[in-house]
């Protein structure tokens, strides 16, 4: 049996680290097993769904290196949902309810006061035809609930192990609203049957839904996917990310200059028994993927860790893989310069300021007490700089001035680069060349 999975975002907002992790886990699993990855656009909510969000989702997944084998919109499948609803109605499993939202609210309050769980009381099942007619005459439109069996639904979850949901503790779920629109529950099952989805991999906020959905699967077909519910993401402080998800959109990470494989490495590893380390390809991540490695505790998402992975990734990135982007950013100096600065940047765009520093005119930063020292250093610098120049030059300056350690090196670094930290000065001096270096040491622009 070949694996078929789906990622099913609603195009009512931007993809964020939480939902894109679900996409990634589906993707890593299917790439490991061989099979199909379907992108299902859950746009049954026609008012809140937009094409712009839908395109954004596609851009984000492509940027991260996730390619779908097929895609479809739920808004094109209403006929399927209608015929599934008809079958459920005919089987006596989908029933019309006429309560208003206020009435249901009042009912729940009374249940709470009486110390009972706020489960729908199924009063609608008792309505006579006359009562239903009377409601319709009043102008009430029915919403439709699925009749749960009231028994315990069990499944073997690939992350959570044996699961059981007692459906007698749940309200019969509303599948169709009064205005005729579908809630998520039924369309998802109909599509999972239609596409013969073998594994439903999603966040653990859907565990209870699964109890009801498994009963709907059984009512409609012989097909039942295997389920995997993964713990949700939390911040590094262990707190929910829900309020911060807006700023943790994939688009924002891209704009912040993060590399897709840094994002995938983090999201593919947090919450698993593997260490969080940089991986340079999705293939590698997928080879290492296993549901058995996913723990039950929430996965901690830490932006600082993401940035650290990003800089580690850049350190391992070959010039040819970034040449075009460096060219677009106007970074000069070719491969040699890239190899020199890549250990000193968090993001590709940080290369710009190093390039400006090395290749554009700039005057060095010299403290008043170092002016004479730097002038002497300028005079002592040979006209031809080679790989040994830095060590010979600084050895000479040490001997001549008696300076050593920080007081020897820091004024030179500050005068030549304007920064207290950065790449190795032996290479940097060669890149600058004698003329620039001398000018900067003398306090001129060079
Ligand atoms: N559109 C649903 C969501 O984003 C899909 C859930 C599922 O994977 O079944 O929550």
pLDDT at 245: 81
Q: Residue 9 C-alpha to ligand 1 middle, in angstroms? A: 6
* Residues 305 and 276 sit within 8 Å (Cβ to Cβ): yes
Per the listing, tokens 């699964």 go with 210
Q: How far apart are CA 207 and CA 230, in angstroms?
A: 9
Query: Cα dihedral sign for 157, 161, 162, 163?
Result: negative
Tell which atom from ligand 1 comes closest to the C-alpha of 202: 8
* Residues 432 and 416 sit within 8 Å (Cβ to Cβ): yes
pLDDT block averages, 10 residues each, the chain of length 446: 95 96 98 97 95 98 98 98 98 97 96 94 96 95 97 98 96 97 97 98 96 98 98 92 86 95 98 97 98 95 96 97 96 96 95 96 94 97 96 98 97 96 94 96 94
pLDDT at 213: 98
- Enter the tokens of residue 84: 């599934």
In three-state secondary structure terms, 109 is helix
| Residue in 16, 188, 191 to alter for ligand 1 test, most ligand atoms within 8 A of Cβ | 188
Burial zone of 175 (CB within 10 Å; 0-12 exposed, 13-18 middle, 19+ buried)? buried
Q: How far apart are CA 337 and CA 358, in angstroms?
A: 9
H/E segment holding residue 436: helix 425-441
* Residues 393 and 313 sit within 8 Å (Cβ to Cβ): no
- Residue 307: how many other CB atoms lie within 10 Å: 17
Q: What residue owns the CA closest to ligand 1's atom 5?
A: 8
Tell which atom from ligand 1 comes closest to the C-alpha of 22: 8
| Residue in 184, 192, 216, 225 to alter for ligand 1 test, most ligand atoms within 8 A of Cβ | 184
Task: Give me the DSSP letters along 295-329.
Answer: -SSPEEE-HHHHHHHHHHHHHT--HHHHHHHHHHH
Rounded to the nearest 5 degrees, what angle is found at the Cα of 113, between the Cα atoms of 107 and 114?
Answer: 90
192 pocket-lining for ligand 1 (C-beta < 6 Å): no
Tell which atom from ligand 1 comes closest to the C-alpha of 42: 1
184 pocket-lining for ligand 1 (C-beta < 6 Å): yes
40 pocket-lining for ligand 1 (C-beta < 6 Å): no
Q: What residue owns the CA closest to ligand 1's atom 4?
A: 9
Rounded to the nearest 5 degrees, what angle is found at the Cα of 183, between the Cα atoms of 178 and 186?
Answer: 115
Q: Residue 157 C-alpha to ligand 1 middle, in angstroms? A: 17
Specify the CATH class of 368-441 in words.
Answer: mainly alpha
Sorted by where each begins, the domain ranges of the chain are: 4-74+184-233, 80-176, 235-315, 319-359, 368-441
* Residues 261 and 313 sit within 8 Å (Cβ to Cβ): yes
Q: Residue 22 C-alpha to ligand 1 middle, in angstroms? A: 10
Q: Residue 8 C-alpha to ligand 1 middle, in angstroms? A: 5
Q: Which residues contact 329 (CB under 8 A, 6 or more apart)?
A: 348, 349, 351, 352, 355
Specify the CATH class of 80-176 in words.
Answer: alpha beta
pLDDT at 1: 73
Q: Residue 89 C-alpha to ligand 1 middle, in angstroms? A: 24
Tell which atom from ligand 1 comes closest to the C-alpha of 6: 8
- Enter the tokens of residue 204: 């653990």
Assigned fold of 4-74+184-233: Rossmann fold (3.40.50)
In three-state secondary structure terms, 228 is strand
H/E segment holding residue 191: helix 185-194
Q: How far apart are CA 14 and CA 57, in angstroms?
A: 7
Q: Residue 184 C-alpha to ligand 1 middle, in angstroms? A: 8
In three-state secondary structure terms, 157 is strand
417 pocket-lining for ligand 1 (C-beta < 6 Å): no
Q: How far apart are CA 92 and CA 85, in angstroms?
A: 11
8 pocket-lining for ligand 1 (C-beta < 6 Å): yes
Specify the CATH class of 235-315 in words.
Answer: mainly alpha
42 pocket-lining for ligand 1 (C-beta < 6 Å): yes
pLDDT at 434: 97
């Amino acid at each position: 049996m070949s694996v078929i999975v789906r990622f099913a975002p609603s195009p009512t907002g931007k993809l964020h680290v939480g939902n894109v992790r679900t996409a990634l886990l589906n993707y890593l699993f299917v790439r490991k097993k061989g099979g199909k990855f379907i992108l299902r656009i859950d746009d049954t909510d026609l008012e809140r769904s937009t094409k712009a969000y839908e395109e954004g989702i596609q851009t984000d997944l492509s940027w991260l290196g996730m390619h779908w084998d097929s895609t479809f919109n739920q808004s094109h499948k209403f006929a399927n949902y209608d015929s599934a609803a008809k079958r459920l109605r005919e089987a006596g499993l989908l029933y019309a309810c006429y309560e208003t939202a206020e009435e249901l609210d009042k009912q729940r309050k009374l249940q709470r006061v009486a110390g009972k769980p706020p489960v729908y009381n199924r009063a609608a099942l008792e309505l006579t035809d006359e009562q239903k007619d009377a409601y319709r005459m009043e102008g009430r439109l029915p919403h439709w609930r699925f009749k749960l069996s009231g028994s315990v639904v069990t499944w073997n979850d690939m992350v959570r192990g044996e699961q059981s949901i007692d459906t007698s503790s749940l309200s019969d779920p509303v599948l169709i609203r009064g205005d005729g629109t579908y809630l998520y529950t039924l369309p998802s099952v109909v599509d999972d049957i239609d596409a013969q989805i073998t594994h439903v991999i999603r966040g653990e906020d859907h565990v209870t839904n699964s109890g009801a959905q498994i009963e709907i699967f059984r009512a409609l077909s012989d097909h039942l996917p295997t389920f995997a519910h993964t713990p949700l993401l939390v911040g590094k402080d262990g707190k929910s990310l829900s309020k911060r998800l807006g700023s943790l959109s994939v688009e924002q990470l891209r704009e912040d200059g993060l590399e897709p494989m840094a994002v995938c490495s983090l999201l593919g590893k947090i919450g698993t028994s593997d260490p969080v380390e940089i991986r340079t390809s999705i293939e590698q991540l997928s080879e290492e993927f296993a549901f058995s490695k996913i723990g039950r505790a929430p996965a901690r998402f830490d932006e600082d860790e993401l940035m650290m992975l990003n800089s580690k990734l850049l350190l391992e990135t070959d010039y040819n893989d970034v040449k075009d982007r460096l060219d677009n950013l106007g970074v000069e100096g070719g491969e040699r310069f890239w190899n020199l600065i890549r250990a000193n940047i968090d993001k590709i765009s940080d290369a710009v300021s190093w390039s400006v520093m090395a290749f554009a005119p700039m005057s060095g930063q010299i403290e008043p007490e170092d002016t004479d020292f730097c002038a002497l250093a300028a005079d002592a610098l040979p006209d031809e700089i080679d790989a040994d120049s830095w060590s010979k030059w600084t050895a000479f300056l040490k001997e001549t001035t008696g300076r050593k350690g920080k007081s020897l090196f820091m004024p030179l670094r500050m005068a030549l680069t304007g920064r207290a930290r950065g790449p190795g000065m032996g290479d940097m001096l060669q890149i600058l060349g004698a003329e620039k270096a001398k000018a900067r040491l003398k306090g001129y622009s060079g």
